[in-house]
């Protein structure tokens, strides 16, 4: 069935380090792909999205490219900050709903 798989966390990085969080999905058609971020005590916020193959979503220094051939949508950032500490969720749409990965916690140390 439909699924989204993310790398398990937590991911711990020092400030200014390079970030990659892997995400793969099952391919049924051509879903839109999303990254959501959840800061402590808050709901999820959309970080970026891509709606077709080879699209690159970007926001706040984060990027992810829709790779149809590898069914992946990995999240990257060149230089993380302490304020990026949060839980990141990859998701794909499936007609009326979103299918979420299990989330990856990122902790950035000063």
Partner 1 sequence: DAGITQSPRHKVTETGTPVTLRCHQTENHRYMYWYRQDPGHGLRLIHYSYGVKDTDKGEVSDGYSVSRSKTEDFLLTLESATSSQTSVYFCAISESILRRDEQYFGPGTRLTVT
Question: By the criterion CB under 8 A, which residues form the site for partner 1?
Answer: 4, 32, 34, 36, 42-46, 49, 51, 89, 93, 95-98, 100-103
Query: Between residues 38 and 85, which has the closer beta carbon with respect to partner 1?
Result: 38
| Min dist. Cβ of residue 61 to partner 1 (A) | 19
Angle at 44 between CA 58 and CA 17, to 5 degrees: 50
**Which CB atom, from 4 or from 75, has the smaller least distance to partner 1?**
4
Residue 105 CA to residue 103 CA, distance in Å, equals: 7
Query: Pairing mode, if any, of strands 56-59 and 44-50?
Result: unpaired
Q: How far is the CB of 79 from partner 1 (least distance, A)?
A: 26
Closest contact distance (angstroms) between CB of 16 and partner 1 is 29
CB 26 within 8 A of CB 2: yes
């Amino acid at each position: 069935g439909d699924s989204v798989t993310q790398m398990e966390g937590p991911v711990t990085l020092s400030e200014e380090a390079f970030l990659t969080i892997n995400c793969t999905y099952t391919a049924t058609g051509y879903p839109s792909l999303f990254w959501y971020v959840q800061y402590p005590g808050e709901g999820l916020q959309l970080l970026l999205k891509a709606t077709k193959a080879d699209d690159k979503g970007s926001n706040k220094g984060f990027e992810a490219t829709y790779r149809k051939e590898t069914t992946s949508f990995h999240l990257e950032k060149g230089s993380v900050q302490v304020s990026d500490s949060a839980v990141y969720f990859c998701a794909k749409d499936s007609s009326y709903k979103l299918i979420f990965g299990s989330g990856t916690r990122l902790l950035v140390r000063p």
